[in-house]
Structure 1
């Protein structure tokens, strides 16, 4: 059993007073006024982040965007985000020229410049407003229904 596994196991049986102390040790601040289950989860998350790393900045931004939407509207809405691995290279031909975009942790790189969205890059290439994911072939038009594949 790893040291992390042992600490996570210990959290499960800690009484509330001991959890509050563990919170202070972990976060270097007083524990918030929340129940033991949330204290355990918060401490466990931080311990795991220290060993395995935290969320990417892109994921943190998406969580924050959804949090604000929930605050504003009461619901997160539909998830239309396209998940691309860092290091993926998108290639698109347009008017006889090939364009390459590199997926970065915090956006995209195109011709040596950083962009927050694919739509900005699509506009740069075409001079017109495009949905970036659609321009790069990652998303079809809404209402698009693929043809059924023929069997045999």
Structure 2
């Protein structure tokens, strides 16, 4: 069976079957918080990685360096991610996964346009939130 056929079969699997497939492909238990969609994506990534090769070692080292930089940032400073049109923000809140698309003139959430992430975060939670913080774009100052 080729990779495309295998990935297509993932779409038909139950949550329990996806968890079992994750264990087979990754050789470890899946993260507890993963939804069916995330399990499917992780399995598909691993299948493609095995079939076509993974990241080049140089890129892996570069990504490791970026992660280290984030951990060693100066205390008391908040870091913010720059968003570009086409980016997609995903947040799981109280058992529901929410998706927001970044557009040229704001944000698209549930087929409605918004100028502010904070407005979307407030709509999701029912209380006032910093949108960038809610979506994990801004670390809290330590």
- Give the TM-score, by structure 1 length: 0.44
- Relative contact order: is structure 1 or structure 2 higher (C-alpha 8 Å, sep ≥ 6)? 2
- Give the TM-score, by structure 2 length: 0.47
